[in-house]
Amino acid sequence: MKDIEALKELQKIDVEIFKIRTDLEEKPQKIKKIEDDFNALYRSLKELEDVLKKMQLEHKEKELELQSKEDVVKKQKGQLYQVKTNKELYSLQLEINKENADNSLLEDEIIVIMEKVDKFKRLITQEKAKLAQEQVKLNKNKADIEVDIRELSEKLEALNASRKRAVEACIDPQVLQLYERILENKGEIAIVPIDGEICSGCFRSVRPQVVNELRLGKLKTCENCARIIYVENDN
């Protein structure tokens, strides 16, 4: 019974150790998650900026094209005074009218592009402000998680020291070896009480003979889940 009481106390420590280790394993993933979310926003902003650059380049190209076409019209208008026949005059006027029509369409395209450019500039300004806010949140969340990691690490160090003292104090080496082997296989719970004739680890029946042996103070394991079992309240 002495070993059972010692194992029960040891398991309390191991349960806390298991929880802290689980928390510590999750913390880096939490940091990665908030960094990934921030990086996704950053990439989205860069994509918007890339689209804006393409539109600005297209706007510049259209402006140059319009300027070139206007120069052609200007040159053609100058030629109106040099033609010698009505046929040449009519043909040149048709060319000028066609160029003016094309230029009008080109001007409309430029206006549409300028409107899109203005829209994207406003959107990018909004996204930059949002990204700045998210950067502040990211830094705070990372700092908070890093504080948690330090505190949990300190608690884990203290618990490991307590565990070492508990092990050295009063647990038989063979019993400890059995307990730790079960702990490795079952996770955080290696020793459980029975309720009547039911193992509280797997909720399966325990043979009456095993229950009697437990009452006599023998160390037994559950035949179903292999955990160490004990009688907690024997009336």
Give residue-wise pLDDT tens across range 12-40. 999 999 999 999 999 999 999 999 999 99
Same domain, residue pair 34 and 47: yes
**How far, in Å, CA of 130 to CA of 41, rounded?**
9
> Closest Cα partner for 159 from 17, 2, 15, 9?
17
Residue ending a domain, choose from 155, 171, 187: 171
For 89-146, how does the pLDDT look when each residue is reduced to its tens digit (9 = 90+)? Answer: 889 899 999 999 999 999 999 999 999 999 999 999 999 999 999 999 999 999 999 9
| Domains in the chain, number | 2
Q: Name the residue with tokens 């990665």.
A: 32
- Which structural domain, as residue segments, surrounds residue 45? 2-171
Residues 42 and 154 both lie in one domain = yes
117 and 163 housed in the same domain: yes
65 & 133 share domain? yes
Residue 233, pLDDT > 70, answer no
Same domain, 198 and 89: no
61 and 160, same structural domain?
Answer: yes
Instruction: Looking at the structure, tell me whether residues 202 and 156 fall in a common domain.
Output: no
Mean pLDDT lowest among 78-92, 139-153, 190-204: 78-92
Q: Which of 107, 99, 101, 94 is nearest to 72 (CA)?
A: 99
Q: Are 167 and 215 within one domain?
A: no
CATH of the domain at 165: 1.10.287.1490
